[in-house]
Amino acid sequence: MPMIFEHSTLGQRVMFGTGKAAEYVAAEIDRLGASRPMVIAAEPERALAERAAARITPSLWWDRVVQHVPVEVAEQARTAAEQNDADVVVSVGGGSTTGLAKAIALTTGIPVIAVPTTYAGSEATNVWGMTEDRTKTTGSDPQVLPVAVVYDAELSKTLPVGLSVASGLNGMAHCVDSLWAPRTDPINQALALEGARALSLALRGIVADAQDMEAREQALYGCYLAAVSFAGAGSGLHHKICHVLGGTFDLPHAQTHATVLPYVLALNAPAVPELAGRLATALGAQGTAGDPAAAAIAALAELYRAVNAPFRLADFGFAEEGIPEAVQRIVKAAPASNPVPVNDQNMTQLLTAALTGDRPRTGVAA
């Protein structure tokens, strides 16, 4: 078959170097000609942010960071940025911190320099998300794409192993979703598969030795590829599910993505055997000829066992009575291009299985 597709690559400067965050942040501020940086970092990340900002003089420190970016928090941060004449925002932290910086950029146009301390990947996308009245709304806008990303594995060294695993599997979810998301193309898929390979190896390394800096670097590399593929491919079913669970039920972002992923893979993989086989290979499977979907599901399950991944939504506050509302919202938001048609029945099965941690099985959600 002829290869016909349209691919857009986002323009962004990426600076990667362990121990170089302060140097790179200062260099990027100089390059932008900025002089009044606003630094965003939640209180637990303040020490890391001070290290990253060691060579600059912030005009404002902002530490009110809330997951899923409530609209009211975004408005407060925007007002503070404007009142302090901030001309650049430096975000140091995970996805919620980057998300708040993006919310500021969305309405003010102030450029963002992102310094990730987790493997969320938001720093490499032009996607924003905010929550209001228990509903998370997302969109894309070139104005929210950070102009620069500074990756320094030293800043992720203090991230506990459990959170490292959940955050890395959040990145893995970007990879898997990008294989069949609405705008996917061969370039996005190639990036996603390499990201999945790198993250699989990195997470095993971090679990074996939390101070393994090569593994931490591989995790940052993998999450970046995952996010770039996601930015191009768009938001697939997995992300629609997790946006509902996070925005409506306030479930933790990374843990929710990590928990839901195996069930979405089990639902979709049989409908896309060629992609499933390539994913299985990326995850380390030795043979996929017999049943590529089963191989991909088994390879992901083996990784989850190896890294002691989260596997029950009940552990994070979701309850059975929330399933009907969640299903209604998910079915409404699900992309029509999903490999398997989304309906009340298979979403109820998927959430019921993910709630209790029932083992995903090939071809069905539970």
Q: Render pLDDT for 124-174 as a digit per residue (tens, 0 to 9).
A: 999 999 999 998 898 999 999 999 999 999 999 989 999 999 999 999 999
Q: Are strands 135-140 and 127-132 parallel, antiparallel or unpaired?
A: antiparallel
- Please tell me the predicted confidence (pLDDT) of residue 359: 84
Q: Render pLDDT for 26-53 as a digit per residue (tens, 0 to 9).
A: 999 999 999 999 999 999 999 999 999 9
Last residue of one domain, picked from the residues 141, 156, 171: 156
- Please tell me the predicted confidence (pLDDT) of residue 1: 64
pLDDT band at residue 299 using 50, 70 and 90 as cut-offs? very high
How many other C-beta atoms are found inside a 10 Å radius of the C-beta of residue 29?
23
Do 316 and 218 share a structural domain? yes
Residue 2 counted as domain residue: no
- Please tell me the predicted confidence (pLDDT) of residue 289: 63
106, two tokens: 């969305």
Do 91 and 59 share a structural domain? yes
The answer to which of 47-61, 272-286, 352-366 has the lowest mean pLDDT is: 352-366
Alpha helices by DSSP H, 234-357: 237-249, 253-268, 273-282, 292-307, 323-333, 344-356
Last residue of one domain, picked from the residues 156, 174, 199: 156
Do 80 and 176 share a structural domain? no
Q: Is the pLDDT of residue 366 over 80?
A: no
Q: Render pLDDT for 220-251 as a digit per residue (tens, 0 to 9).
A: 999 999 999 999 999 999 999 999 999 999 99
Q: How many CA atoms lie within 13 A of 194 on its CB side?
A: 14
Do 131 and 214 share a structural domain? no
109: domain CATH number? Answer: 3.40.50.1970
Q: Render pLDDT for 328-357 as a digit per residue (tens, 0 to 9).
A: 999 999 999 999 999 999 999 999 999 999
237: domain CATH number? Answer: 1.20.1090.10
pLDDT band at residue 361 using 50, 70 and 90 as cut-offs? low
Do 248 and 287 share a structural domain? yes
- Please tell me the predicted confidence (pLDDT) of residue 290: 83
Q: Is the pLDDT of residue 364 over 60?
A: no
* Rounded distance between C-alpha atoms, residue 63 and residue 61, angstroms: 7
Give the pLDDT mean for 287-305: 90
C-alpha torsion sign, points 138, 139, 140, 144: negative
Considering its fold, how many domains does the chain have in total?
2
Give the pLDDT mean for 203-217: 97
Give the pLDDT mean for 299-312: 96
Domain that holds residue 251: 161-356
For the chain, the maximum distance between any two Cα atoms, rounded to a whole number of angstroms, is 62
Q: Render pLDDT for 58-112 as a digit per residue (tens, 0 to 9).
A: 999 999 999 899 999 999 999 999 999 999 999 999 999 999 999 999 999 999 9
Q: Are strands 88-93 and 37-40 parallel, antiparallel or unpaired?
A: parallel
